Structure 1
Amino acid sequence: MSPTRRQFAQGMTAGLAGLVLPATVSSSASAVPKGPNPNSGRGLDERAIQDALDAVVQWPAVGAVCSVVGPAGRFDTASGTRGLHANAPARANSVARIASVTKGMVATVAMQEVERGTLSLDSTLGEVLPGLWPEHEDEVTLSMLLNHTSGMPDAIWVIMRGQSLFDLDLDELAEVVSRHYGQRELVELAKQADWWFEPGADYGYSNTGYVVVEMMVEAVTGRRMPELIRDRVFRPAGMHRTRLEHGTLVRGAEMQDAAVRPHEAKALETIDQSIFASAAAVNTTAADVTRFYQALMRGELVSQQTVDLMVTPVGPAVQAGYGYGLFLVPDPSPEYADEVLVGHDGAGFGSVSLALCSRDGERAFAFTYIGRPYWQAGWDQVFAKELDLMRTAFVVNAAGAPASRDRLVRGNAAAGRRAVAEIGARGARLV
């Protein structure tokens, strides 16, 4: 439901001063990193981060949450309002839908099963779920599903009748995303499309591939993914406000998705996240996302050897800089110019997320905004500001400065109200 991750990674790379993207990451978190210049005088500049976040939350974006953590401390903050028609400000600990940032978390559970020996990266669809997709069950492996090289088509595009988001009727969109979808129903819907390419021959981003990963993990464990990921990822990482939801219930959610065009806007009041299942159905705070990436990169959820596998693109996925549930982009900080950040983006129906972390787990950034643009120029406009926020977060997040106090900062409600007023004014002029 967004530009392909190949396009996203290329856009990120182009936006980060043309830095070269390495094919692999340093093989061990214990390796001595290229540290910041102790004489640089920079630290976790909260004002710079807040200013960059406030710049994102101008029409069409409505509200945003952000978490930045590093050697100089933690800064959790927000800007704008919690919804299109909300007066309450977004809060640093507001829960939002993070869409495909979910994939790294689900891939972690799958890799835990690889470590346990119940699955291997070479496990085929037919070995674990015989009969689910007979034509390709002997060719498609867990590895291919995790790094989007299986060629499996995506049910989302079938549901949306192959239309670009920019062409969708927003009322129709709201209706489609409010109904429930079962796992096997999503697979059957995906079967209505042609298989994209021979398994292992190319890269093609498929949400349905992660629905099948979920089904494979559930088959070998006998447990549902929402409970597995809670017990094995969320709780160990200290993610106490995080849930994987397969329905309309969003416990603790405060950031309401909204779709925005120049002359219309639609609050998506009911989204049944079964449409994505384990591909993109986590709801959480920005701070919990940074906790996840730090725990993962530090080897607290899987071994460092497994993390190395997850952050190393192989085969056709190298062209997209995509490992297992994680992509790689150049680190924009001059002190780390030869290194990469590991993470994922998320593009939901009315929200957009980005999360990145250094391989040693020392520096992490997570961000979600609501008020997704449904036209190209609007998308490009906000994406540029999103990149600037990410650059700011990592460039100012250097050691060599006194530790910043950990604190929560309330959002800028005025910025969100300006966004809503701008939407209303444009609509009124149309009338």
Structure 2
Amino acid sequence: MRVQTWQRFPSPLGAVLAAAVAGAVLTVSGLASPAAFAADARPDSVQRGLDALVREDGMPGALASVKGPGGRSRSYTAGVGDLATGAPVPEDGQVRIGSNTKAFTAVVVLQLVAEGKIGLDTPVDDYLRGLVRGERIDGRKITVRHLLQQTSGLPNYTEYDLQLRHYAPRELVDIALRHEGHFEPGQKWEYSNTNYVLAGMIVEQVTHRPMAEEIDRRVIRPVGLRHTYFPAPGDITIREPHPKGYYRDAAGAPLSDVTEMDPSWAWAAGQLISTNADLNRFYGALLSGDLLKKAQLDQMRNTVSAEYFGPGARYGLGLVSFPLSCGGVYWGHGGSFPGYETRGGATTQGRAANIAVTTQPTDKATLDHMSTLVDTALCRR
């Protein structure tokens, strides 16, 4: 999930989570040369970067998948997948991909736009009559485009009052609506998970089907994402081989196993489970036009400045462009969920890379190292 700082877990739920798991903590430490993060053309540059994330940045485990323009893929791992047993990180293991889910949700909405069932510039109130109302909040002024592009001004529900329990989407929206709107729709860009919960609710309203089913039949199955799924209500597990995910309050704090958790608080904004290789396949298929017609893909890649993601980053409709050191950009999103952090995306030239670590970084330096490693993987000759 994306919250106040880049992909950091919201502090109110974080405090509850810390209290809930305080009885079982583990630590990990190590050291590696910062030079491991430098981009080079050697075949082991990605492996060296993953090793450094574990040894220098204190990530329990790290894993990556890289696809070259010829279609050849390679998976990497570093660290351990289970701190209690020392079990290795499973190759291309499943992780909770957090806000990468937003790109999937946006694809479903844009497919419905192409079918004439949703209008990008239609007010939210046309689909969710009377629901989006509050202080400086009016769903008659907020359009579907505002939701997908994060320009609605809606408060971010993940900043408030979350508990470790099951949530219905309407409850998440109600949390946000108890707070004042941040600005008039379209006035500026600001990240809010509330936007994508509402987008998911609109999908359900016009299709009369659960959001999870729409993502599955419109995105997951057509692209052949065999290791990607939307957890069913009450499912707190990760189905296939996976590294365990860990939580820590601050840099240097002990780690707690938070692998199993009800993900309903993230819903259409961040509930999916996937693998790095499946994410490579998804973003590659998206950019190749396999999921959207050209008109909708062009809209998705119509961006506004979003330096929140880093220098030069721009936000489209659930899709972010990031500049590459070797020229051009790659398209992805990134995601965060308690226990996991992901970075990556694909280029229009057929390259793709995604990286995951098994705890959310508590400092900007580690996040920068992850982003640099994605650049390393995509810029290798």
TM-score range, shorter chain: 0.7 to 0.9
> What SS does the corresponding residue of 2:222 show, helix, strand or coil?
coil
**Residue correspondence of structure 1 range 23-102 to structure 2 within 5 A:** 45-58=42-55, 59-72=57-70, 73-102=72-101
Aligned residues: 338
Quickly say closer, same or farther: Cα 1:347–1:47, change in 2 above 3 A.
same
Point out the structure with the larger helix share: 1
Displacement after TM superposition at 1:213 (Å): 0.3
Report deviation, 1:91.
1.8
The TM-score with structure 1 as length reference comes to 0.73
1:354 and 2:352 correspond: no
- The runs of 5 or more residues in structure 2 that have no matched partner are 9-38
Residue 187 of structure 1: how far off its partner (Å) = 0.8
Aligned equivalents of 2:318 and 2:66: distance in 1? 21
Larger relative contact order, structure 1 or 2 (CA cutoff 8 Å, min sep 6): 1
Larger Rg: 1
Query: What residue identity is the alignment partner of 1:142?
Result: V
Q: Is 1:393 aligned to 2:377, yes or no?
A: yes
| Superposed displacement of residue 180, structure 1 | 0.6
Partner of 1:182: 168
- 1:336-365 per-residue CA deviation (whole Å, 9 max, x = no partner) reads x2x2111112122221111221134x0111
Query: For residues 4-403 of structure 1, what are the structure 2 equivalents within 5 Å?
Result: 4=5, 45-58=42-55, 59-72=57-70, 73-134=72-133, 135-159=137-161, 176=163, 178-245=164-231, 246-247=233-234, 248-252=236-240, 254-260=242-248, 261=250, 262-314=252-304, 321-333=314-326, 337=327, 339-360=328-349, 362-374=350-362, 379-396=363-380, 398=381
Q: CA RMSD in A?
A: 2.5
Q: 1:43 to 1:306 in 2, by over 3 A?
A: farther
User: 324-333 vs 293-302, which deviates more?
Assistant: 324-333
Report the residue type matching 2:217 in the other structure.
D
Secondary structure, aligned partner of 1:76: strand
Normalising by structure 2, we get a TM-score of 0.83
CA 1:3/1:51 → structure 2, altered by over 3 Å: closer, same or farther? farther
Map of 2:35 onto structure 1: none
CA gap 1:363/1:216 in 2 versus in 1, 3 angstroms: same
Change (3 A) 1:391 1:100: same
Letter in 1 for 2:47: Q
User: What's the CA shift for 1:45?
Assistant: 4.8
Measure how far apart 1:231 and its partner are. Answer: 1.1
Query: Could you report, residue by residue, the CA deviation over 1:252-271 in whole angstroms, capped at 9, with x for unpaired residues?
Result: 26232211331322211432
C-alpha contact (below 8 Å) 1:234/1:242 kept by paired residues: yes
SS at match of 1:235: helix
Gap change, CA 1:383 and 1:56, over 3 Å in 2: same
1:292 is displaced (CA, Å) by 0.0
Cα contact 1:202–1:316 (8 A) shared by 2: no
Report percent identity of matched pairs.
Answer: 31
Q: How far off is 1:6 after superposition?
A: 11
**CA distance in structure 2 between the partners assigned to 1:179 and 1:215 by the alignment:** 20
